[in-house]
Amino acid sequence: MTRSELIDEVTSKASNFTKRDVEVIVSTLFKSITESLGRGEKIEIRGFGSFKVKDRNARKGRNPKSGEGIEVESKRVPFFKAGKELKERVDAGAKPHSED
């Protein structure tokens, strides 16, 4: 689902808001999450999951094109952990593979 598809979905279910209102709400939500993670804060949305920032240490890697060894600098990366309810809903929607 893309951002515009999310906005259309919310607009169709919340008829008392205009599409522009929903765009502002979605943009504000994403901006708030991004800014909070940038400050190193943890975000928890019950029933959905949590976002936090993890630190990755510097390491030796390799350039996949040349095979040459390179140094990869340490960095901070966003991490999402799905909540129990989200996991259950995704699993309930999964269709088993047919054995041929």
Query: How confident is the chain (100 residues) per 10-residue block, as mean pLDDT?
Result: 94 93 96 95 95 95 92 95 93 68
Angle between helix 3-13 and 19-38 (nearest 10): 130
What confidence score (pLDDT) does residue 28 get? 97
What confidence score (pLDDT) does residue 18 get? 94
What confidence score (pLDDT) does residue 59 get? 94
What confidence score (pLDDT) does residue 32 get? 96
What confidence score (pLDDT) does residue 100 get? 47
User: How many whole angstroms separate alpha carbon 32 and alpha carbon 26?
Assistant: 10
Report the predicted TM-score, pTM, of the whole model to 2 decimal places.
Answer: 0.73
Under DSSP, the state recorded for 50 is E
What confidence score (pLDDT) does residue 99 get? 54
